[in-house]
Structure 1
């Protein structure tokens, strides 16, 4: 794990996410590091360490002041202040609404920076591969009392996220293992499912997408249930070193788990390797997707 030479402070996910948000908003505000640091009466190196996730001491009062300077809205500012208060640990359970507002999505910023994602899903189609109709049906279940406009806003945000893998320049690579149960669990109706499975089959033809189906006949390859998970990697620098440490993300009903200890990441990597070995090869997986899609509209 990288540390700063000057302080020996180990970077952690909450610190890196805090720094990433602050850097993005500083850029939006049209300020250089030197200009923003001057307004804080800091040296430029102090702000630079904060943006890189290596600050040795973070005060919430300073975060609120930076938010004021950058014009960061109140709820987002509260979320950043909550990130600043997280312990410097490698295993982080983000309980919804605990210090950080529930609607402050930590994962989105992480996903947007990823260069490679290894995903296992046993219940739902991964967000990066969902159709608008599938997203709309899910949101109507999660928030049945929300207005049509609010649901459509969420659908649009989900569609925007998918640019990560569909953009022309340097799209992220994803390796997905979907349990067959995802294909058989109806979200919306038969028409929605047929379109979703056809979309998955089409996505699997992209050069940066590897999609395999783990059939019911494979049983339980690991002998235990891992639940859905994603391993995110962030590319390498000019020296071939990771830009950031890889992170495991596991979404929960009341919060999200983030793991970055090397032993934990290796364990999930091995789990994904095992699931891939027991899954169908790519052509049979694509064939199964198209076959089940036809069954929905038969």
Structure 2
């Protein structure tokens, strides 16, 4: 197998920058109505080379090819620069991605992975974005010191709400397992009215067949005897032979710093085992829903 450089260095696995760059270029090509063959010919690539780029299967993606494709698709200059940066990142095996996270634009790495995932297992100490109400999301986003413009906050809230379609869509919704620490039910976000509405939503959406919500209670203590913070394990579709289309990934939101993505099999296995350990000491689904409703009633009583 040869790369677009003509070297025998294309590999079957794809690292995160390659995957994100491939998705970005494929989406822009589709939006402009080009076939793979037509786009490849116009930038002097073979169709197979462009297919490998879009599939994230070529490590040495040439910057000039990325720039030519972006110009063909009429991509803006800032996004062209970001795409070229991803092409440079594609040569590395282990890295921290500066574009990822909630507040980036076209290259929001996590959202790209999330939308492609078949199963998500996530641990949080606040209500995760996929299950947030608009008012809860607005309170969370509005608390960031960098966001003071109301229209900007509303736009970000709407963007977060659109992401939730992967959970509620009728066709192939993502399988979502949320391991939620009990503190999330009591953490005051947006006031009692907002929290009560959020918890009612939480109880209702947990009834969906593709959603599993388990509360990890205070009395369970520290899993493995250590604080570990929030994390998400993302798994993707499988091929006919049972192999994953893309390898699983662990994501840890960086907050004020850079997000962290882990791809090594032993790292993914470690966090999968951590999730299993949290699961075994969590309340079951019925107990979880009863606790959520009980805390909701307490909040509603305090409002009167």
Q: What is the CA distance between 1:275 and its match in structure 2?
A: 0.3
- 1:91 is paired with a residue whose SS is coil
For structure 2, the residue ranges without an aligned partner over 5 or more in a row are none
TM-score by length of 1: 0.92
Q: What RMSD, in angstroms, separates the aligned Cα atoms of the two structures?
A: 1.9
Alignment pair present for 1:47 and 2:37? no
After alignment, is 223-232 or 61-70 more displaced? 61-70
Give the match's secondary structure for 1:235.
Answer: coil
Contact 2:61 2:90 in 1 (8 A): no
User: What is the count of residue pairs matched by the alignment?
Assistant: 291
Deviations 1:171-213 (A, max 9, x none): 0001110001111111111000001111111111110000000
The answer for the alignment partner of 2:38 in structure 1 is: 35
Q: Tell me the residue number matched to 1:73.
A: 76
Q: Which residue of 1 aligns with 2:139?
A: 137
Q: Which of 234, 257, 260 in structure 1 is aligned with 2:260? A: 257
1:297 aligns with 2:263: no
Alignment of 1:156-171 (within 5 A): 156-171=158-173
1:25 deviation in Å?
1.0
Secondary structure at the aligned position of 1:142 is classed as: coil
Question: Equivalents in 2 of 1:288, 1:232: separation in Å?
Answer: 27
From 225, 228, 236, give the equivalent of 1:234.
236
- Partners of 2:181 and 2:217 within 8 A in 1: yes
Q: In the aligned structure 1, how far is the partner of 2:147 from the partner of 2:279?
A: 39
Deviations 1:56-109 (A, max 9, x none): 421222212211111222332222222111154443212359xxx954411111
Alignment partner of 2:250 out of 248, 257, 262: 248
TM-score, length of structure 2 as denominator length:
0.91
Separation of aligned partners in 2, 1:102 and 1:171? 25
Q: Where do 1:34-183 residues align within 5 Å?
A: 34-86=37-89, 88-95=91-98, 102-103=104-105, 104-122=107-125, 124-143=126-145, 145-183=147-185
Q: Where does residue 270 of structure 2 map in the other structure?
A: 267
The alignment partner of 1:222 has SS state of helix
Deviation at 1:145, TM superposition (A): 4.8
Range that drifts further, 113-122 or 10-19? 10-19
CA contact under 8 A between 1:179 and 1:215: conserved in structure 2?
yes
Give distance in 2, aligned partners of 1:289 and 1:34. Answer: 54
